[in-house]
Amino acid sequence: MENLESEKSKIIKNAENEAQSFLNKTEEESKAYLERMERDAESKIQHEKETLQNKLTEDLVTEVINKAKAKISSDSELNKKATNKLISQI
């Protein structure tokens, strides 16, 4: 009977150790997963920010060029100056 109680205690202790080990492992994996998710999110946000900044810069440059073209086209004096400048560059 004493052997049975000893075996029962050993099994319970072993089960508790395995449960604690499982909890520790799960906690570590969860922390690692959350850290990876945070890094991925930061990276994605940074990439999207850079993409938006590049797009805004491109749109600004396009707008400036279009306004310059419109101004040069509407003013014959500027049109002549621009043409002469381009021809002198050739």
Classify 90 as helix, strand or coil.
coil
Mean pLDDT of 41-52: 98
Give the pLDDT confidence score for residue 81 in this predicted structure. Answer: 84
Give DSSP secondary structure letters for 50-78. HHHHHHHHHHHHHHHHHHHHHHHHH-HHH
Mean pLDDT of 27-46: 98
pLDDT band at 86 (very low <50, low <70, confident <90, very high): confident
